[in-house]
Amino acid sequence: MIRLRQLQALEYVLSNRTLTRAAEVFGVTQPAMTRLIAQLEEDVGCKLLHRDQGRFQLTAQGTIFYDAASRVLNAARQLEGVAQSLREDSEGSIRIISSYGLIGSLIHRALATFVADYPSVKISMDTMRRPALEEAVHNGKFDIALATLPVRAPALCAIETLAA
């Protein structure tokens, strides 16, 4: 089974180009780093790295694997950010995005009631032009989005009419 620590070790080898330097920065011995990479290659079932003039580079298969691995590592970093937010503020936060002119007219009463009931929840509100709003919706960078219909949104987004 591929472990996150192995993926992190691969990332350190690639960014530092030598096992010795990668191990030093990663906080393990050089033999331990070698074992992590060897175990990863065994788990994957192919050679991921080759040495070129004393420095490590990805093989063709390694490049394909690392593209997917980097997405996993980025997701793990995002998850750590969420965990950090939860540790710092157990009540969480809400990000509201809106087209210009909608945020004040549609939700001010509901927002006032919510803040009274949940004073420790952090609320951020951003207004943006429609193209930026639709991009934020597609990237999932919001909790609540306010826009005039029609709006391009992924299938997983629930769309509710607040006013007509």
Which pLDDT belongs to residue 143? 82
Which pLDDT belongs to residue 149? 77
* 125 backbone dihedrals φ, ψ, rounded to 5°: -130, 130
What's the pLDDT tens digit per position in 4-48? 999 999 999 998 888 898 999 889 999 999 999 999 999 999 999
Q: Which residue has the higher pLDDT, 100 or 49?
A: 49
Cβ–Cβ < 8 Å for 56, 20 = no
131: cis peptide before it, omega within 30°?
no
Nearest to 12 by CA among 24, 2, 22: 22
Q: What H or E segment, with its residue span, contains residue 137?
A: helix 130-139
